[in-house]
Amino acid sequence: MGNTLTIHARAKINWTLDIVGCRADGYHLMDMLMQPISLHDTLTLCEADSLTLTCEGNGAPAEARSNLVWRAAKALQAATGCAHGVDMRLIKRVPVGSGLGGGSADAAAALHGLNRLWGTGLSQERLEKIGLEIGADVPFCLRGGLCRVQGIGEKLLPQGEGPVWPLVVVQPCDGLSTVEIFRRWQAREKPPVRTDETLRALLSHELSLLPGRPGNSLEAVSAALRPEIGEAEEALRALDAVCAQMSGSGSAVYGVFAEAGQAELAASALSQRWPKTFACATVNTPFEYDQL
């Protein structure tokens, strides 16, 4: 057996999501605060003669080549001329279609891990440029930390270490299509987004300063299609979440708690109604390697 790397690819949450414009090509311009969370998928890379991918777990695609991990491996080969193979095994835990960036995190882990395994020596900046061609959230998922993300995902403004707070993440309904949500979005549906206020609270690490609803411009559209989103938020607040909000374009919501014990109890209660409920926490590193 060749060299092997095992990487835990961490999901993310949007503390805020603001739509601030639209490019001539139709892509929306964003202003977001994002941070990784401990909920993760696991990607194992083993040197091999050819390129293979197997997927299992929550929402794993039947066709491996439709996975962003496969696209990331092929993109790295194309960018470097590397002809090495790898056997890739992906275990999915992050819900699909949730707005938690699971697929982007997987692609980021593949780029970072294969750059290391194959010895292709690309810089962080180059990896992020390749990642942007795969998905808008991939550059952030390579970077991690508390980050203000602008443009279509290519402009990363690191804000340093974010707070480590207990979370409960719930996907109360089927996944949503990001393309469909953006298509339905209209400026009149945009709620207030408290980006600067939220950033100050996060940098101070003072949970009491965090707005109860920091703001997500897509939430009204997504919640209209999936009323369970609003129901899950209210359930989190009823269980003493300090803040509860949808992540990305949905359909997952998260609640922030003062104590890990509170989060565990809330997750246990909510999982009776919504099986895709996870107690986790905010973190700062986008992935973690198993030590061999």
Residues marked active site are found at 12, 137
User: What is the per-residue pLDDT for 59?
Assistant: 63
Mean pLDDT of the chain: 93
DSSP annotation of 98 reads S
Lookup: tokens for 267: 């997750």
Q: Per residue in 66-101, pLDDT tens? A: 799 999 999 999 999 999 999 999 999 999 999 999
Domains of the chain are 4-160 (3.30.230.10), 166-281 (3.30.70.890)
- For residue 181, what pLDDT band results from cuts at 50, 70 and 90? confident
Helices marked H in 159-259 — which ranges?
A: 178-184, 195-204, 219-225, 228-238
- For residue 140, what pLDDT band results from cuts at 50, 70 and 90? very high
The span from the CA of 250 to the CA of 99, in Å, is 5
The whole-model pTM stands at 0.95
User: What is the per-residue pLDDT for 41?
Assistant: 98
User: What is the per-residue pLDDT for 208?
Assistant: 96
**CA distances in angstroms from 174 to 59, 210, 259, listed in the order given:** 11, 29, 29
